[in-house]
Chains A and B, each alone.
Chain A
Amino acid sequence: MSPTGQATPGTSPSMSDYRRREQSITLSSVEEQLDQASTEELLTLNFGPHHPATHGVLRLLVTLQGEIVREIKPIIGYVHTGIEKTAEDKAYWKVIPVIERMDYLSYYFNAYAYCGAVETLLEVEVPKRAQYLRVIHMELNRIMSHLVWLGTSALDLGAISMFWYCFREREKILDLFEMSSGQRMHTRYFQVGGVIEDIPSGFAHKLNGLLEEMPSRIDQYGALLNSNEIVLQRLRGICPLDAQTLLSLGVTGPLLRAAGNPWDLRKADPYCSYEDFDFKIPVGTVGDNYDRYACRLAEMYESVKIVQQALDGLPEGPHITEDRKVALPPRHELATSMEALIHHFKLVTEGFRVPPGEVYFPIESPRGELGCFVRSDGSSKPARVHMRDPSFVNLQSFSHMAKGAYIADLIATLAMLDPILGGIDR
C-alpha cells in the first residue's frame, strides 16, 4: 500500500473513487473520507412514541452524528389525561382514585401525597396505626416499583429473563395488596384521615413470608447482574452527571443519590412516622448508570427492613381518624346512631368541606420528590390539584446525561432514568 492511500496496483487514475475504494485492500481511503465534512452531517431520528424501548409513550427527537447523540429533544403529552382538571370537578374523596392513576407504578404515593395535603388543610390527625399501615403499603409499593423498573430495564439491556424473576416477586406483592384492599393496582386504600380498612387476618403472616424470602431474591438479582460483564460494559462509566447539575435541574430521588447527594425526604424531613424506623440511604459515588442501578437495588433491601420494622411495631388503634366529619363512620353505627347516619349521608353525597388555603405536601416516591399542591376555596371540591411529579422534572436531565453517548447508551440511560409517562404527562 502506498502511504498516501492511493489505489493499489491494478487501478488507473482515471477510475472513479468508488472503484478505487472497492479495490483497495486497506480502508485508508474510506477513513480519509470519514474525516471530511460530509461525516459531520447530523441526522435527526424520531424515537417513538410507539417504541419498545421507550418506557411508555415518550417521543424523542434525537440528533445523531454517526452513532453519537448530539442532542435530544423529548416530546411528551401523548398520555396526557387531564387528571388535574378532572380532580377539580370531583369531591375531595372522589379525587383519590383519579389522582392515583397519575404515576401508575407508585399509586400509594400519589394517594398519600394528596391525602397528606388534604389532611394538612383540614388539620386532621392520622392515628398511629394508620400511619404504620401506610408506611407498610408505601414501602411495598416502592419495592414493587423498583422490581418493575429492574425487570423492564434488564429487558432493554438484553437480560431478558430478569423480567420473569422480577414479575414473579411483583405478583407476591400484588397478592398482598389484593388481600388488604381487594385490588391489585390503584387500590384506593389510602383515604383522607387514614386507610379505608384494617388489614385482614393472614396479612401479617403472608407479609412475613414475603419479607423472609425477599432479601435472598434481591441477592439473586444482584448475583445475576452486578458483576455481569455485559451489564458492566453497558452501565459502568456511562452518562454520569454530577450532583450540582442535577440539583439545578431539580432532580431528586435515586438519580440524585447515585450522584452522591444523600437527599431523601424520609430522613431529611420525616413524615408519616418514618422517624420511627431505622434504615439507611444508599448513596452512589460517580453518578453513572451503574450507580443508579445499584442505588435502586440497595433501596429494595432498605424497604424490606422498613416494612419488617413497621409490621413488628404495628400499634393497636383505629385505622382511620375518628373525626366523623372527615371519615365515614363504621357501618354498624349507622343502625343505631342518628348522627352517624347524617354524617354518612353528608360525606357520601356532598363530601367534606375543606377550609380555604393552599398547601404543598412533598413526599419521597420511588422516583424522587412527589409533591401535591392543593388549593381549596372552602367548598367540597378542590380548586386546584397539582402533582409535582418527579419523572417530569427528572426528564429534563436526560438530554444533559445522554449528550455525547452512543444510541445504545441512550437506551440504557433512559432505562436507568426510570421515567413513568403517566406521571410526566398527567
Chain B
Amino acid sequence: MPDATGLELIAQELRRAEGAEEGASAGSPVIETLFFRGRGTLLVEPGRIRAVLAHLRSRGYAFMSSLHGVDHHPHEPRLGVVYELLDMQRVDRITVKLALASDAPEVDSVTDEWPTADHQEREVYDMFGVVFRGHPDLRRILMPEDYEGHPQRRDFPIGGEPVIFTYNERQSLGSAE
C-alpha cells in the first residue's frame, strides 16, 4: 500500500495531469484522499473515473481486484462504487471510490479497459441500481431477470419468512384467517 505521502503524491499527479488536460472548467478529479489502516483511498469524481483508472494503470496498478458497490444511506450522495487496484510488481494496493446520487446513478463502464469488471458491474447494477454506461450487457446477474427493486440498498427490506412462535402461529397458517 502506498504510505500516506505516496498517496498524496498520486493524488497530486492526478490533479495535475487530469486537470491540465480537461482545462480549467473541469477541476480536479480527486475530491479527497484518505489513508486508513495502512491503505490509501482516493475519492474521485464519477465522470472522470476512466481517466483516473487509466492513469493509475500507467503508474503500475494494472490489476483490478474487485469492483463493488456500497450504499451510504442516509448520507447523500448515496450509492458508491469502489474499485480495488493492485500493483503486482510492487505488491501495492490502492482503492478508488466514487459516490453517486440516487436520483441519477450513472457512471461510465470500465469494462473495455478492465475486462474483469464485466460481471462485477452487472452485480452492482443488480444489487444497487447503478447504471454503467457503455457496458456490453447490463442485465441482472444474481436476481431473476424480472425482479423489481435493488436488494442491497439499505432501505430495501430484508424480507424472509416470519418465524412462527406459539403466539402467532394461528395467524400465519393459511389465508382464510
Contacts and interface: CB of A to CB of B under 8 A. Distances in A.
Do the two chains touch directly in the complex (Cβ atoms below 8 Å apart)?
yes
Interface string B134-177: 00000011111000000110101011000000000000000000
Nearest to A371: B66
Contacts of B120: 392-393
B64 A250 contact: yes
B95 A425 contact: no
A348 interface: no
A77 B39 contact: no
Interface residues of A, number: 39
A252 to B, nearest CB: 8
B99 to A, nearest CB: 12
A247 interface: yes
A375 B73 CA distance: 12
A10 to B, nearest CB: 56
Contacts of A168: none
A99 interface: no
Query: Which range holds the interface residue count of chain B?
Result: 35 or more
A375 B119 CA distance: 22
Given A249-B115, A360-B95, A426 B142 contact: yes
Contacts of A80: 142-143
B37 A250 contact: no
Given A248-B115, A393-B120, A396-B115, A359 B36 contact: yes
A384 B84 contact: no
Contacts of B84: 360, 371, 373, 388
Q: Nearest 4 pairs between A and B by C-beta?
A: A250-B116, A388-B66, A77-B142, A80-B142
27 contacts: A76-B141, A77-B142, A82-B158, A82-B159, A84-B127, A120-B37, A248-B116, A249-B116, A250-B65, A250-B114, A250-B115, A268-B88, A357-B36, A358-B41, A358-B70, A360-B82, A360-B95, A371-B65, A371-B84, A373-B68, A383-B70, A386-B66, A388-B66, A392-B120, A392-B123, A396-B115, A426-B142
